[in-house]
Every structure is written in structure tokens, then in C-alpha cells.
Amino acid sequence: MKIKLFLAALTALIAMSFSPLETKLWELLGSRKINYGIDRDEILVTRAEGVFSAIQLRIKRSPINMHKLAIHYGNGEVDEIDLRESFRAGASSRVIDLPGNKRIIRKVVMWYDTKNISNGKGVVEVWGRH
């Protein structure tokens, strides 16, 4: 009886750790189809989305070499982040913590290049954590 109770409690604890609450903390700020070659793209974020403590890039459909990001905040400040990382399709960047408590993001500017035209245009998504 004690083993069944222990297993039930363990199962409930595991189920709570994978709850949708964690996914609700992340919000899609925008996405861009990426062009073949070297390029620069911007994702505009409206103030209506709120304040964020971190961002993450998610790469879809095609690999990408991300050089750097510039995060433009609501107060006019800009953070430049050198990534210099190659991402395969389906990969995510590390979680990039934003300085300060929580920040309003106006836009995210990305510098990147792609080399694999056979997979077609990839997609970069920018996610923000509340």
C-alpha cells in the first residue's frame, strides 16, 4: 500500500513538472523567413506584448549561422549580443537573459547567413519569457 501511494505521489509530481504553466511563460514575439546568403532581418515587437526577462531563438526548416543580435528596448537602449553559432533545423538558442528586472522589447535585429539552399527558406522565431 505504501509503495502504491509513493508511486502515485511520484507520478503526480512528475506530471506537475511538465505542466503547461512553463509554456505559458514563453510568448512568440515574431518570426521571419530567412533568405539564402548573408542577410539582416528585424522582428518588430509591440508594447502590447508586455515585459520580458529573457529571449530565445528557435530555428525551423533549414540550418542557419547566427552572427549577432541587437535587442532594442522601449526606453531606447540597445543590447548587442554576439552569438556566432550554427543552428541546425529544429534547434534552439540558449536562453538569453535580459539585463535588469524585466524589459519592454521594441524589436530584435538579427545578422545571419545560410548555406543550404536545398532545404529552401528557413524560419527564425524569437520567443520572449515573461
Show me where the domains of the chain are located.
21-129
pLDDT band at 118 (very low <50, low <70, confident <90, very high): low
Supply the pTM of this predicted model: 0.75
Query: What is the CATH number assigned to the segment(s) 21-129?
Result: 2.60.120
Residue (of 95, 89, 107, 116) closest to 49 by Cα position: 107
Residue 29 phi/psi, 5-degree rounding, is -90, -25
Average pLDDT of every residue of the chain: 82
Percent of the chain at pLDDT > 70 equals 76
Is pLDDT at 96 greater than 90 in this prediction? Answer: yes
Q: Please state, in angstroms and rounded to a whole number, the distance separating the CA atoms of residues 60 and 23.
A: 18
What does the pLDDT read at residue 81?
A: 93
37: left (phi over 0), alpha (psi -120 to 50) or beta: left
Q: What is the mean pLDDT of residues 68-86?
A: 92
